[in-house]
Amino acid sequence: MTADLFDSLAEAQPTCEEIADGAVLLRGFAKPIEDELIAAVREIVAQSPFRRMTTPGGYQMSVAMTNCGERGWITDQTGYRYDAIDPRSDAPWPAMPAVFRDLARRAAESGGYAGFAPDACLVNRYEPGTRLSLHQDKDELDLAAPIVSVSLGLSAIFLFGGLSRNDKPRRFRLTHGDVVVWGGPSRLAYHGVAPLADGEHALLGRKRVNLTFRKTR
């Protein structure tokens, strides 16, 4: 067998790697449905555009966000919360596409969390230089459910810390099509994204889009 054929066979089969207690990295898991996912993102954004939100501390986030599903994550001067209404359109967030829901459920099952039924999907858009500082995701009522993240477009350095803000983060490169299931003891770990390096992605151009699927109640 030639090295090339061996490589292409290896790429066709997503790998499953436990990167921390309860956190499973599924390399390339979303790749087979990349076109459907990107088309769905475009439809969501047509209805609820990306916007840079303001934190309670008065800072404008560098990452632009939107949501789909029954509820969406928002931040403003008064705090962080999940809300059924997009404050920009005063209408419900776009429905979660079946291709999103199914991907999140299949990924969670591969990661050991069968029956994952997300009610919210936060869609983050990174441009070169934008970053997400170290934080915990704890606005969800059901912390027993995992969070499933899907990376599309330019790759990013993901920072994965511990349960204390002071724990030195490990760094992982997340590339187009990678899916991570964050559950169990990793669910409340501090995490963030280093400033995005410039580049050009064949499908998304100078952008990274990250989907995070959540069960908020």
The helix, strand and coil proportions of the chain, stated in percent and rounded to the nearest 5, come to: 20, 35, 45
Q: How far apart are CA 152 and CA 34, in angstroms?
A: 8
Minimum CB separation of residue 32 from Fe ion in Å reads 26
Q: How far apart are CA 116 and CA 110, in angstroms?
A: 11
Which of residues 48 and 212 has its CB atom nearest to ligand MD3 in the complex? 212
**Closest CB to ligand MD3: residue number:** 210
Binding to ligand MD3, residues 170-199 (CB under 6 A): 180, 182, 186-187, 189, 191, 193
For 130, what's the count of Cα atoms within 13 Å in the CB-facing half-sphere?
20
Q: Tell me if 210 contacts ligand MD3 by CB under 6 A.
A: yes
Which of residues 40 and 122 has its CB atom nearest to ligand MD3 in the complex? 122
Q: Residues with Cβ < 8 Å from 20, sequence gap 6 or more?
A: 160, 185, 186, 189
Q: Tell me if 104 contacts ligand MD3 by CB under 6 A.
A: no
Binding to ligand MD3, residues 119-158 (CB under 6 A): 122, 124, 132, 137, 147, 149, 158
Q: How far apart are CA 126 and CA 109, in angstroms?
A: 28
Q: Tell me if 71 contacts ligand MD3 by CB under 6 A.
A: no
Q: How far apart are CA 64 and CA 49, in angstroms?
A: 9
Task: Report the interface residues with ligand MD3, using CB under 6 A.
Answer: 122, 124, 132, 137, 147, 149, 158, 180, 182, 186-187, 189, 191, 193, 210, 212
Task: Report the interface residues with Fe ion, using CB under 5 A.
Answer: 137
